[in-house]
């Protein structure tokens, strides 16, 4: 990217591989994040000359753009780090090439989340070139360890709290502009996360007598663990239409086909029925209306002919708004119904508070979406994944999650998968979005 109103060169073509873990990562070795910061200095000279830049935690960056007032500060977020890749599985070429081909920039991080970082800095760089001064202080929080739930965002929050900064608005990555995501709605939809699900990782384990596989006893550790997993799959958490989902259905339902419009008009009274329907439409809609549980890692005996003395599985739980870590653990124990199966919490976060949509902050985001995507509807939604935004809910009441890119289902599947790419058109519109948002501060 170069300063201006749209992309000229790939934002990834000159970047180091800022992967937080995986093959080649060595603690204490020269960091690719330092090289990435050098590249940012070169690509965005006005940003680094005119904003106050502070390093937080390991490689996080906190930049302050002083505005006409410091009374209603805004925090705009993105993260520098990316998830690892398996190069052999990429059909589009080198995952870190940043090649521009067929109207898209290809490479790890183009959508998650260096694309957002690039268009955010591009917007600020171009506005600085025009002599623009924001109506209020703007802080840029660029974390370096979002993908591993690290400490960078927490450190940024601690620093802002130390400075007495109470953000009027926080905007991080999250929803996108999507099509075909809601029944009966043909228009593109900009889904803005107003909350995000909590996360709970639980180690589920059991022990039993071991021995040789030629003489197994009944009820061994692996069988007991397998039974617990199948019980959890057979008895999922009950679905429920939470406030943000009902608001989404009510708003988008007005733009759906005539038959569905009449159905969605009674979303409140029909909430239990709609919740069950959502569980069957797609994995995404299912996850919107319930707490989900999946066994992600399994471990048993050390050899093929050994009866395991212990077996364990990691349960990754995504907690829906309205549930808590405590209530989830209680249900897991009830469903497993086996005192010989132990549950140990590895890590947990509660669901984030729901940010309001009848507020000037949300209206500002809506207006900026309209500038970049005039035909898009704007809707709140429950963000299914985790983001650094959850840390900022301790100092701000209006925390939203939106990436200003149009994404197909294929692109969304590539976020942590293979052949990740963003269209050049979406990058240009992303710059328009942030410019409109920053200029719109004067009207709020």
CA distance 175 to 415: 12
Nearest-5° angle of CA 50, CA 54, CA 56?
A: 155
Structure tokens at 18: 């800022």
Q: Is 112 a catalytic residue?
A: no
DSSP conformation letters of 343-380:
EEEEEEEPPPPPPPSSSHHHHHHHHHHHHH-TT-EEEE
Neighbouring CB atoms inside 10 A of 384's CB total 18
Q: Is 146 a catalytic residue?
A: yes
Q: Which of 15, 81, 144, 147 is catalytic?
A: 81
The counts of H helices and E strands in the chain are 14, 17
Q: Do 138 and 71 touch, CB atoms closer than 8 A?
A: no
**Which SS3 state, helix, strand or coil, does residue 234 take?**
helix
Q: Do 7 and 51 touch, CB atoms closer than 8 A?
A: no
Q: 302, 295, 361, 364: which is closest to 332 by C-alpha?
A: 295
CA distance 172 to 244: 18
Nearest-5° angle of CA 165, CA 169, CA 174?
A: 125
Q: Which helix (H) or strand (E) holds 334?
A: helix 325-336
Q: Which of 145, 146, 147, 173 is catalytic?
A: 146
Neighbouring CB atoms inside 10 A of 224's CB total 18
Per-position b or e across 349-361, b if 16+ CB within 10 A of its CB:
bbbbbbbebebeb
In residues, how long is the chain? 444
DSSP conformation letters of 285-323:
HHHHSS-EEEEEEEE--SSTTEE-SEEEEEEEEEEPTT-
CA distance 283 to 318: 13
Distance from the first to the final alpha carbon of the chain:
30
Q: 69, 81, 53: which is closest to 140 by C-alpha?
A: 53
Q: Which helix (H) or strand (E) holds 433?
A: helix 424-440
Q: Do 276 and 239 touch, CB atoms closer than 8 A?
A: yes
**Mind telling me the catalytic residues?**
81, 146
């Amino acid at each position: 990217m170069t300063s201006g109103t749209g992309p000229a060169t790939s934002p990834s073509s000159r970047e180091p591989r800022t992967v937080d873990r995986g093959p080649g990562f060595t603690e204490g070795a020269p960091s690719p994040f330092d090289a990435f910061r050098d590249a940012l200095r070169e690509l965005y000279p006005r940003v680094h000359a005119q904003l106050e830049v502070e390093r937080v935690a390991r490689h996080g960056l906190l930049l302050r753009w002083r505005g006409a007032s410091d009374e209603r500060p805004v925090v705009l977020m993105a993260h520098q780090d990316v998830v690892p890749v398996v190069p052999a599985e990429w059909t589009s070429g080198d995952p870190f090439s940043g090649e521009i081909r067929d109207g898209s920039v290809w490479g790890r991080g183009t959508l998650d989340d260096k694309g957002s970082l690039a268009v955010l800095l591009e917007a600020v760089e171009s506005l600085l070139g025009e002599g623009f001064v924001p109506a209020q202080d703007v802080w840029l929080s660029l974390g370096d360890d979002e993908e591993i739930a690290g400490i960078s965002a927490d450190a940024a929050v601690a620093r802002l709290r130390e400075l007495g900064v109470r953000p009027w608005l926080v905007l991080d990555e999250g929803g996108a502009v999507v099509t075909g995501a809601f029944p009966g709605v043909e228009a593109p939809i900009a889904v803005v996360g107003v909350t995000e699900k909590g996360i709970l990782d639980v180690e589920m384990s059991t022990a039993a007598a071991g021995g040789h596989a030629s003489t197994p006893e009944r009820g061994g550790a692996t069988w007991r663990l397998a039974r617990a997993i199948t019980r959890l799959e057979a008895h999922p958490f009950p679905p429920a239409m939470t406030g943000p989902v009902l608001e989404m259905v009510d708003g988008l339902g007005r733009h759906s086909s005539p038959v569905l419009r009449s159905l969605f008009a009674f979303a409140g009274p029909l909430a239990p029925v709609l919740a069950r329907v959502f569980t069957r439409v797609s994995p995404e809609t299912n996850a919107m209306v319930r707490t989900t549980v999946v066994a992600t890692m399994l471990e048993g005996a050390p050899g093929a002919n050994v009866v395991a003395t212990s077996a364990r599985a990691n349960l990754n739980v995504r907690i829906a708004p309205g549930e808590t870590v405590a209530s989830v653990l209680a249900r897991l124990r009830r469903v497993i119904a086996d005192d010989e199966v132990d549950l140990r919490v590895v890590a947990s976060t509660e669901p984030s508070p729901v940010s309001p949509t009848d507020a000037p902050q949300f209206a500002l985001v809506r207006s900026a979406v309209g500038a970049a995507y005039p035909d898009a509807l704007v809707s709140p939604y429950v963000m299914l994944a985790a983001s650094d935004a959850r840390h900022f809910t301790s100092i701000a009441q209006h925390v939203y999650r939106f990436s200003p890119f149009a994404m197909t289902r294929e692109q969304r599947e590539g976020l942590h998968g293979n052949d990740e790419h963003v269209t050049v058109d979406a990058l240009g519109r992303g710059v328009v979005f942030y410019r409109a948002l920053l200029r719109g501060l004067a009207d709020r």
